[in-house]
Amino acid sequence: MDKGQLIGELQFKAVRSGGAGGQHVNKVSTKIELTFDLVNSFAFLDTEKERLLHKLKPRLTNNGLLLLQCDETRSQHRNKELIVLRFLEVIESALKTPKKRKRTKPSKASVEKRLKTKKLAAQKKSGRKKPNFE
């Protein structure tokens, strides 16, 4: 993954942000919408692209676009920085390979302890039966 090329492929669009802010919010476009075309990207190897398509499938559009928005601050530049950082986090977390599970056996002591408690429970239950005098 080439971060420089990846950031170069991003497309930004500034739109008007909703919410509180008075008259200023009606004049200024501070919300940033980030669009990334994952299908046509050259920043990833084929294996990385397959992994991303699989992992990010719920977040992608039908055309393979990843859309993110940020309107946390009243500054367009700060929102752009935040959305790029969030985008890189999403990509890096999707590219992580999960660790292989190591199969383990229970210890001898834990097996013996389990069998002992089973035997005690069985004795307790058998002690609840009515005595047989025959």
Distance, in Å, from the CA atom of 51 to the CA atom of 24, rounded to the nearest integer, reads 43
Answer whether residue 102 is part of any domain: no
Please give the backbone phi and psi of residue 67, each rounded to the nearest 5 degrees, phi first. -115, 130
pLDDT exceeds cutoff 80 at 76: yes
CATH code (residue 52): 3.30.160.20
Answer whether residue 15 is part of any domain: yes
Answer whether residue 65 is part of any domain: yes
The one-character DSSP state at 70 is: E
Domain range spanning residue 11? 3-95
Whether residue 54 contacts residue 13, with contact meaning beta carbons closer than 8 Å, is answered with no
Instruction: Count CB neighbours of 78 within 10 A.
Output: 14
Q: For 6-65, write each residue's pLDDT tens digit.
A: 889 999 999 988 766 677 767 888 899 999 999 898 888 899 999 999 999 999 999 989
Answer whether residue 85 is part of any domain: yes
Q: Into how many domains does the chain fold?
A: 1
